[in-house]
Structure 1
Amino acid sequence: MPWVAAVARLRARREPGVLVTVATVRGHAPRKAGAKLVVGRSESWGSIGGGNIEAVAIDRARELMEKSEPEPELMDFALNDKVTGRHGVQCCGGAVSVLLEPLPVVPAVAIFGIGHVGLELARILARHNIDLHLIDTRPDMLTDERLGVLGDAMAQIHVHHTPLLPEEVLEELAPGTHVLIMTHDHAEDAALCDAALRTDGLGSIGLIGSAAKWTRFRHRLSTEGGHDAATIDRIKTPIGLPGIAGKEPATIAVSVAADLLVAFERDVR
């Protein structure tokens, strides 16, 4: 499997990994500079030459995966019969340096409702290295023309048009996904709140709306949904940073995005 495909596989599985690259070669070595190996928790793809170099690099890569904030690092190997490595001797006669680059699990966000605020929020979040899910029951909100403003996205964008039951998308989301509920329909919002509270493994759950709306929702989630107070408190409303009171879509989007960035930092600690 090509290393690019292996990196994509780890990302799709939401598993950490490490990209190992032969950075420099002096003299004779098993592989030329640029050879790559992708290491996952239980699998690896590609090769940087086998033998002690590769085995030690894999060991170190898996140690890095266990760190909360791993950083890239270089490893140097002398390939001669006077150096005994952890996994044996390689006596090609040269020297090799290997770069290990951690591939962390990227944050994931699901926006339910791609109206004025939802689209502004998507525009901001799309500039970050995240998995971004855009969900709406209205097909005209998800046209290629309307989403064209996301054409330069760094994020991997997943578009879900769900005409009837948008809450079904919740079951498809990876563990830890942050959910934002901001549809055009309060009944749809209420159904999504109830379903989100019943979905294991989600990250934060945010609901856009007024204090009056939340009072009605709390009552309904308690009486009709059967959720206790602690469970209902998982839903954050209002969303965004406190103190930013503007109601323009772009202002709300900036506030919500900033609050999410704080949550992302918290997730990696």
Structure 2
Amino acid sequence: MLNQSTQGLHAHNWLQAATELEASSATYVIVTLLSAAGSTPRASGTKMVISDNNIYATIGGGHLEFKAIEHARTLIARGESCQEVENFQLGASLGQCCGGQVLVLFEVFASDKLHLDVYGAGHVAHALMPILAQLPIQIRWIDSRAELFPEQIPANVQKVVDDEPVAQVKTAANNTATLILTHNHQLDFELCQAVLKRDQSLWLGVIGSDTKAKKFQYRLMQRGFSEQQIDSMICPVGLSEVNGKLPMEVAVSIAGQLVALYQSLEVGKPKQKSKQWRDLQDNLVHLSTLQSQKAKIG
């Protein structure tokens, strides 16, 4: 999948795309052709931007661009900011008629916010959103009933209306936390199945009772889910120390658990990794040598 939000190519240039993705706290990769030797589809300095669901601009198309997109999304899935340099042989390894080679820089800009998908726009979700609006969390708020959403949506919340909310699980970014608060137990269960089956969610919380949790655990076991998968589902969601059934009481309990989640991620966040400058310098020298040799032959 190249672009989820639009058919064909985006109208944005790479700078507009990076600015927009940065503002939305999305993880993205800027791909730059650092150097080119021989016949190549685009010149050095050409850039494109790749996110989990979309691409912007182009570095020339063909198999080179396909491999660049593939590699960029592998880096996005790691969830870390980093820089990597890759050397692509257009003729030998990619089967392009150009026959040259390019040195490509991948700069990953990982979002430092917790990404959270909230399913359900009922009373608890309405009580929860004003709390989450004040926290470093980027949210997709998903429900099939457009009329339930308030007129004013916090800046860090994206409203998603979908007649089939379960379909949104496939579009979630990797390492997104998932909170299920719908009005329908069967829908809750279908969402749980979809999230566990995809196996890319950072965290899964489900509103309910101990009885509901046991029923879901049994049904998931009957459908072949592993004990590890089932144990990853937190139901009832929320801090056990915070009691009460009022929507705001439940919302505060869930918010406390989400705060603990993103704080634990900050503590465990790995240091930024990048290729050593020596690697980049060696690659540039290699390409420079090739260009000089081609110039002499010509």
Identical-residue share of aligned pairs (%): 28
The structural deviation recorded for 1:3 is 6.5
Q: 1:137 aligns with which of 144, 147, 163?
A: 144
Matched, 1:9 2:16: no
> What is the match of residue 48 of structure 1?
none
CA contact (8 A) 2:27 2:110 kept: no
Matched, 1:160 2:160: yes
> What is the number of equivalent residue pairs in this alignment?
185
The structural deviation recorded for 1:129 is 3.4
Which amino acid in structure 1 is aligned with residue 177 of structure 2?
H
CA contact (8 A) 1:16 1:105 kept: no
**Which is further off, 230-239 or 103-112?**
103-112
> What is the match of residue 121 of structure 1?
128
Which amino acid in structure 1 is aligned with residue 18 of structure 2?
A
CA contact (8 A) 2:206 2:234 kept: yes
Which amino acid in structure 1 is aligned with residue 27 of structure 2?
R
CA contact (8 A) 2:25 2:138 kept: no
> What is the match of residue 227 of structure 1?
225
> What is the match of residue 106 of structure 1?
113
TM-score (norm 2): 0.55
CA contact (8 A) 1:241 1:255 kept: yes
User: For the residues of structure 2 that align with 1:2 and 1:222, how far apart are their CA atoms?
Assistant: 46
> What is the match of residue 266 of structure 1?
264
The structural deviation recorded for 1:4 is 7.2
> What is the match of residue 239 of structure 1?
237
Cα deviations by residue, 1:123-144 (Å, 9 ceiling, x for unpaired) = 21122333211111222213xx
- Looking at secondary structure, tell me which structure has more helix per residue: 2
Cα deviations by residue, 1:18-54 (Å, 9 ceiling, x for unpaired) = xxxxxxxxxxxxxxxxxxxxxx99xxxxxxxxxxxxx
The structural deviation recorded for 1:8 is 2.6
Cα deviations by residue, 1:197-229 (Å, 9 ceiling, x for unpaired) = 011321100011011111111111111x21121
Name the SS of the counterpart of 1:204 in structure 2: strand
For structure 2, list consecutive stretches of 5 or more residues without a partner in the other structure: 1-12, 31-48, 51-79, 83-108, 269-298
The structural deviation recorded for 1:13 is 4.4
Which amino acid in structure 2 is aligned with residue 14 of structure 1?
T
> What is the match of residue 26 of structure 1?
none
The structural deviation recorded for 1:2 is 9.1
User: For the residues of structure 2 that align with 1:217 and 1:103, how far apart are their CA atoms?
Assistant: 34
TM-score (norm 1): 0.61
> What is the match of residue 196 of structure 1?
195
**Which is further off, 197-206 or 2-11?**
2-11
User: For the residues of structure 2 that align with 1:199 and 1:229, how far apart are their CA atoms?
Assistant: 16
User: For the residues of structure 1 that align with 2:162 and 2:179, how far apart are their CA atoms?
Assistant: 16
For structure 1, list consecutive stretches of 5 or more residues without a partner in the other structure: 18-39, 42-63, 67-101
Matched, 1:250 2:257: no
| Cα 1:262–1:114 shift into 2, 3 Å | same
The structural deviation recorded for 1:154 is 4.2
User: For the residues of structure 2 that align with 1:233 and 1:166, how far apart are their CA atoms?
Assistant: 23
User: For the residues of structure 2 that align with 1:118 and 1:252, how far apart are their CA atoms?
Assistant: 10
Which amino acid in structure 2 is aligned with residue 108 of structure 1?
H
| Cα 1:104–1:181 shift into 2, 3 Å | closer
**What is the CA RMSD across the aligned residues, in angstroms?**
3.0
CA contact (8 A) 2:25 2:112 kept: no
Cα deviations by residue, 1:63-91 (Å, 9 ceiling, x for unpaired) = x955xxxxxxxxxxxxxxxxxxxxxxxxx
Which amino acid in structure 2 is aligned with residue 8 of structure 1?
E
